[in-house]
Amino acid sequence: MKRIIFSTLAALAWFGTSSLATALNYTPDQWERQIVAACLILEASDQGEQGMTAVANVMNNRAGGNPSRIYKEVRKPYAFTSLNSASTGKTGSRGFAGHVTRASRDSNWRIALRITDRMYEGTLTDLTHGATHYSVVTEYVSWMRAMRQTVVIGNHKFLRKS
């Protein structure tokens, strides 16, 4: 219940009341759903359901809790390392197809699709405490200076602005 209230308040703050109903009633098409799930697999399948959920939390947090903005966040160039070649146009006309094909062969594919569905429904619990970024625990790069670590899940640390 707390997560749903937060998502609603975040959506109100981000979009105002006029487009709130549209944002909360958003349903992705199957291709969008598969690309988002592929990102979960390629970023964190080796971290299991909890790790993939945490990556989904980052996607949702970057989208301000608005389901209609998740796909846009995932497609941003360099937003998710595993999709860099597609998000920067280096896969040509193939786009995200190769990523989806590879991810759909992973044993966690069905789990990633369920996580994706829960994220779009607004029922996914935020394990990251509002994180908008993550990295492997052993990495420290300059962009992290302005961030505060919120949690470590698997071999990823999750961060948000201080």
Once rounded to an integer, what is the mean pLDDT over residues 150-161?
97
Q: Are 136 and 152 in contact (CB under 8 A)?
A: no
Q: Is 148 a member of any domain?
A: no
- Regarding predicted confidence, which is higher, 1 or 158? 158
Q: Is 49 a member of any domain?
A: yes
Whether pLDDT at 129 is above 80:
yes
For residue 149, list its beta bridge partners.
159
- Cα gap 5→1, rounded to integer Å: 6
What is the domain extent for residue 82?
A: 29-127
CB-based contacts of 5-14 (< 8 A; 24+ apart in sequence):
6/65, 6/126, 7/65, 7/122, 8/65, 10/64, 10/65, 10/66, 11/64, 11/65, 11/66, 13/64, 14/64, 14/65, 14/66
Which of left, alpha, beta for 152 (phi over 0: left; psi -120 to 50: alpha)? beta
What lies within 8 Å, CB to CB, of 29 at 6+ separation is: none
Q: Is 156 a member of any domain?
A: no
Once rounded to an integer, what is the mean pLDDT over residues 134-148?
95
Picking from 34, 58, 63, the residue whose alpha carbon sits closest to that of residue 159 is 58
Whether pLDDT at 51 is above 80:
yes
Q: Is 155 a member of any domain?
A: no
Q: Is 22 a member of any domain?
A: no
- Cα gap 80→55, rounded to integer Å: 10
Q: Is 36 a member of any domain?
A: yes
What was the pLDDT predicted at 20?
53
Q: Classify the C-alpha dihedral 48-151-146-53 as positive or negative.
A: positive
Number of domains, the chain: 1
Whether pLDDT at 162 is above 70:
yes
For residue 148, list its beta bridge partners.
160
68-113 pLDDT, tens digit each: 999 999 999 999 999 999 999 898 888 999 999 999 999 999 999 9
- Tokens representing 33? 């759903």
Q: Is 117 a member of any domain?
A: yes
4-44 pLDDT, tens digit each: 445 555 545 555 544 555 556 899 999 999 999 999 999 99
What was the pLDDT predicted at 24?
66
Q: What is the pTM of this model?
A: 0.84
